Amino acid sequence: MLSKIRFNSITAVCAYVLLFLSFQPCTASEEGTRSENEQETVFYYTVKKGDTLWDISNHFFKTPLAWPELWSRNNQVMNPHLIYPGDRLRIYKKDGVISITKVPAETVQEAVPAKILEPPAPPAETIEKKDESFVEKQPEIERPYFQYIQIDRIGFIKKEPVSAHAIILKVKGGKSLISEDDIVYLKQKDTETPALIPGTLYAVIEMRKEPAKDSVTNQYIGIQHNIKGIVELTEILQKDPMIAEARVSKTFSAISVDDILIPYKKRSPKITLTESPAGLEGKIITEESNKKIFAEGDVAFINKGDLDGVMPGQHYSIYRKEELDDFVKKVDVGSLIVLHAENETATVLITKSKDALVPDIGICTSLK
């Protein structure tokens, strides 16, 4: 009897030891491998609703414009637009470069914050008919964007000049300088153009007399259009339906009598960031005010547009050529973002300049 009890006790101890070993997380060799692969300083961040790589970059690195470099240095994040609330991100510094890597939630050894539960749904029997209003929709994830609050004032280059819908006939009070809130009188260009309608917004346009041309080939590029301001049509005069009263709602540069007007097209200051086409090559035609030297913060025009795959929100490098013995090297001297695109040209903002920039300087898909 005593030997039987002793045998049962030994069996129980062995079973306990085997059970304990089966729950060990990893072997010594696995621990060695893990410490070898994770020598960098690591901390974790959980993506929240409304977060973008743009916002995360601004939060951790004090500049939102660092996001393309973060993305380009990490193969794990295939698309910056596919980061969702609840995703776990590992942010670390390795070899002096700050990086961001998507990490499965189950690998992160930290407490997961409790979720806020929604109020319970009403009992099934109280819903007589299934209705789409009861279907919970997933929140839309906002893609990274660039904000440019002066978007309404940027001009463009078009191959053919725009057709005027009206002109400024005179200003109330006979003022020589037209400013915001001034009352002006508009005249419909002719009976073929759309009728003047109260409440309509018009952009005041100035077209440069000298067309934009390629400085090397002298080939015609187009006409530069500058936006001088915005007016709102308030009233049609009873004596003549082709004459209307309008209020100047915004001025970007001096507005004058005889300036032409075209329908205003609303532009959002939030420009969604998007990928640039691979291998694109072009150049800066001119700076907006035709300065011979320009730099960061200036608006300019490039000789590539919609037909070349250029879209608002794309980034491009600015480079100068450095001739070596047997080849030409591209030296990165700045960067730009596309604000507006026409068929064969685009309006851009210089976001970085290391040197003074000049017309005809090269642009290309971002240099890595």
Domains, in order of start, for the chain: 39-112 (3.10.450), 151-263 (no CATH), 273-365 (2.40.10.410)
Q: Which helix (H) or strand (E) holds 167?
A: strand 166-171
Tens digits of per-residue pLDDT, 233-245?
999 988 888 999 9
Return the percent helix, strand and coil in the chain, to nearest 5: 15, 35, 45
The answer to whether the beta carbons of residues 166 and 196 sit under 8 Å apart is: yes
Q: What's the rounded mean pLDDT across residues 248-260? A: 95
Please tell me the predicted confidence (pLDDT) of residue 47.
73
pLDDT band at 26 (very low <50, low <70, confident <90, very high): very low
Q: Which of 14-23, 107-116, 125-134, 252-261 is predicted most confidently?
A: 252-261
Higher pLDDT: 245 or 8? It is 245
Q: Which helix (H) or strand (E) holds 5?
A: helix 2-22
Which of 118, 145, 116 shows the shortest CA–CA distance to 50? Answer: 145
Please tell me the predicted confidence (pLDDT) of residue 328.
83
Higher pLDDT: 233 or 34? It is 233
Q: Which helix (H) or strand (E) holds 41?
A: strand 41-46
Q: Is the pLDDT of residue 196 over 80?
A: yes
Q: Is the pLDDT of residue 40 over 90?
A: no
Pairing mode, if any, of strands 166-171 and 220-236? unpaired
Evaluate if pTM is beyond 0.75: no
pLDDT band at 102 (very low <50, low <70, confident <90, very high): very low
* Length of the chain (residues): 368
